[in-house]
Structure 1
């Protein structure tokens, strides 16, 4: 039986329309994850330990709100569908929260801490409202193995493009400003970023909502937390293998994202952090089409493993660098970035196949439930990575704008390079056990079709 039915094929325009919100979310996400912590510690004057604790707390709260959003999205019925209303109206709140976080008032002390806490909570709350339905929308658009790989490649390619532009735009703005090192210039830079990015969020989500039509494919389930739900998730062995590998890898990858500005300034003693970010993401987006071709030849799992190996082996060398090693760092960043795009796109495509296997086990489509769990893990990893990284840096004796003592330098090197490399190596070892190949996925889809005809079929993973 063929799985590439005409209704499963997606035109290029639909793939791009689906991917555009990821472009805008990346444009906002890079400043939030990379620049905002250092902006609030070094410019606004919030203690680094407070920034780390607030970020950890809000990400923990945010993580557990994701399954609830998945439940609400799965059970929503409107003329616009289950996912699109949240994407549309949530983007408005997210744009407002972004502006308020990026453009704080001139306050100090407790008022600055409170402003940071309130605005970052609002931002991540609306982020959940947008992203959980958005990610749940993708797997329902097509069931074809190759089409899904292409769909998520376009989405994550646009995400990386947004990341690339987000990395480049601070450099461009600072170039126009002249003296960008002052606090006033930094505030002005973030004002321009907010004015550019906030409308982009609303516009791309609106375009996606208008251009994408949801498919009500499969029998909808009750997605409340029940024993039945837990049993079905517990039986989905491929999901747990994928989730565990992804969580450990994400835990490692969140540390460099948070600490790169500190590492470049205080370990390399360089002012070119934004250039290095650009090189990393540029190599990632340029290599992404090649990775998609590789995944079609050897399967998504094997391509993912290869990308993790390249990313990890190159990045581990960063631990051994020191002051003045800009060229060596640039080379390692480019090589590491070659694997970056695939480590983003392929787990998402693999996750969609895992959701198909859940439908075989339960007879129900539960994208929102699985995406919610996935988001919990992703945000728990982010909470631990961001909170632990900044808190340990503060405990080591970090002082903004000063020459750092050896303890801080060594802590930065371990957290930025060594811990992520160990995490990625562990994730690689776990991912080796993932069982769904292209042939097995075809059997899963065929088995679902036969079950809908009332026929009994064997478990595709056991035949």
Structure 2
């Protein structure tokens, strides 16, 4: 039996997600759109540099995951990496969010690479530890739900700061600087609370497999392979509207920074409110069916995006409310399934290589975002100009298709892949019994 985590522990675990989310949203939504307007850069060049930075970042995920599995310290396996990543991320985020007007491709690339590295040092061990806090099928969803709830709160902070600054005539640059200041204060504070309140579970170490056997276990983990592909595709489907959100609001709906902030606020408030509702609706379901249902729901909602035009604020707000209501499920449930998939490896003798697995999933996340950034060169090819007051009808149609149609098609494919996922409640209970038997012997 697995004892549920206390609210104190769940709060300590979840709170670190708040400043990480405050950084994450601007990196995806605000930053590319802002850098695209700088004199030495453009939409296509910004997209290319961010893709290159992401490919640098891809290499670090499995390396850090493997190292956090294999080099335990008296402070734990995951926590030292988080502590090391905090100062690096603080410095890199400051320079990335407060660039000089003369910033070019080298500036954007170098500070993006360092910011991504700092993020990985924190986020990968953080999510890995979340999977290790419980082995219970439903408790794992509770842990990830707390994390995603704080992520939604942090995202609201990231939305409110630029919107408030813009409303005070501070502009995009001042809004990004405000987010950077919040990160400088909030990240070390949240990390300190996390390190104080969250105990790292003791790792019962068995004889680790050699590389050859370890790779065979990894390659033979059929649920892992299927989930990894689904995770990559769904990440790309989510990354497209995230990366193109500002362009869509500004150039299709005809809004401004304040309007964009209001829409994001509605979207993430709906995510906070919708997470417990969807968890309640899906109680007793297998996780993959709940995830698939949420993807079908948001696909049906987003299918109406291409019908929107200038001034269609009410229709878009309704899409934000309904689509945002399943965001928490779309983030929390796959992460909970990831932890279950690792049990296949552990039961087969893999020595609980959660860090390596989460490193590979982190790599998939970065590749997914890199794939979504291909939209920037495509937009430039269509004639779209982020700094122009108006764009051609053809380029705006391309923008709407990339923002609202392509993600729906990809998500429907993910549902087809995951609907008959082989790891449900009964299979997981069998795996946990096998792991507990091996640990006690």
TM-score range, shorter chain: over 0.9
Q: What is the CA–CA distance in structure 2 between the aligned matches of 1:40 and 1:311, rounded to whole Å?
A: 30
Query: In structure 1, which of residues 162, 179, 187 is the aligned counterpart of residue 154 of structure 2?
Result: 162
Deviations 1:128-186 (A, max 9, x none): 111111111111111122221111110111111211222222212222x2x35xxxx33
Partner residue of 1:249 out of 214, 234, 246: 234
The residue number in structure 2 matching 1:285 is 272
Q: Does 1:49 align with 2:44?
A: yes
Residue from 171, 179, 183 that aligns with 1:197: 183
Equivalent residue, structure 1, for 2:16: 21
Deviation at 1:308, TM superposition (A): 0.9
Are 1:95 and 1:199, in contact at CA under 8 Å, matched by a contact in 2? no
Q: Report the equivalent of 1:408.
A: 395
1:27 and 1:263 map into 2 onto residues whose CA distance is: 21
Contact kept, 8 Å, 1:75 with 1:222, in 2: the verdict is no
In structure 1, the residue corresponding to 2:325 is in which secondary structure? Answer: helix
SS in 2 for 1:296: coil
Where does residue 303 of structure 1 map in the other structure?
Answer: 290
Q: CA RMSD in A?
A: 1.7
CA positional deviation for 1:453: 5.1
Superposition deviation, residue 221 in structure 1: 6.4
Distance in 1 separating the partners of 2:153 and 2:206: 34
Are the equivalent residues in 1 in contact too, given 2:161–2:175 (CA < 8 A)? no
Partner residue, 1:384: 371
The reply to whether residue 79 of structure 1 matches residue 71 of structure 2 is: no
Write the distance in 1 (CA, Å) between the matches of 2:296 and 2:142: 22
Is the 2:237–2:408 Cα contact (8 Å) retained in structure 1?
yes
Determine the C-alpha separation between the residues in 1 that align with 2:268 and 2:372: 20
Match of 2:212 in 1: 227
Query: How far did 1:223 drift?
Result: 8.4
Residue 190 of structure 1 and its aligned partner are, at CA, apart by 2.0
Q: CA deviation at 1:439?
A: 2.4
Number of the residue aligned with 2:362: 375
The answer for the alignment partner of 1:95 in structure 2 is 90
Post-superposition Cα deviations, 1:363-417, rounded to whole Å, max 9, x if no partner, equal 511100100110011110011112x011111111222133101221011011101
Within 5 Å, which residues of 2 pair with 1:63-78? 63-78=58-73
Structure 2 counterparts to residues 132-147 of structure 1, below 5 A: 132-147=124-139
Q: Which residue of 2 aligns with 1:436?
A: 423
Please list every run of 5 or more consecutive structure 1 residues that lacks an aligned counterpart in the other structure. 455-463
Cα pair distance change 1:94/1:12, threshold 3 Å: same
Answering whether residue 353 of structure 2 is matched by residue 361 of structure 1, we say no
Deviation of the 1:357 alpha carbon: 1.7
**TM-score calculated relative to the size of structure 1:** 0.91
Determine if the alignment matches structure 1 residue 268 to structure 2 residue 279: no
> Is the partner of 1:298 in helix, strand or coil?
coil
Partner of 1:362: helix, strand, or coil? coil
- The answer to whether the 8 Å contact 1:250/1:382 transfers is yes
In 1, Cα distance between equivalents of 2:354 and 2:86: 21
Instruction: Normalising by structure 2, report the TM-score.
Output: 0.95
Residue 76 of structure 2 aligns to a residue in which SS?
A: coil
The count of corresponding residues between Structure 1 and Structure 2 is 438
Q: How far has the Cα of 1:429 moved from its partner? A: 0.8
CA displacement 1:295-322 (0-9 Å, x = unmatched): 3322322211111111111011102212
Q: Deviations over 1:300-359 (max 9, x none)?
A: 222111111111110111022122211111111211111111000100111111111211
For residues 223 and 35 of structure 1, the distance between their equivalents in structure 2, rounded to whole angstroms, comes to 44
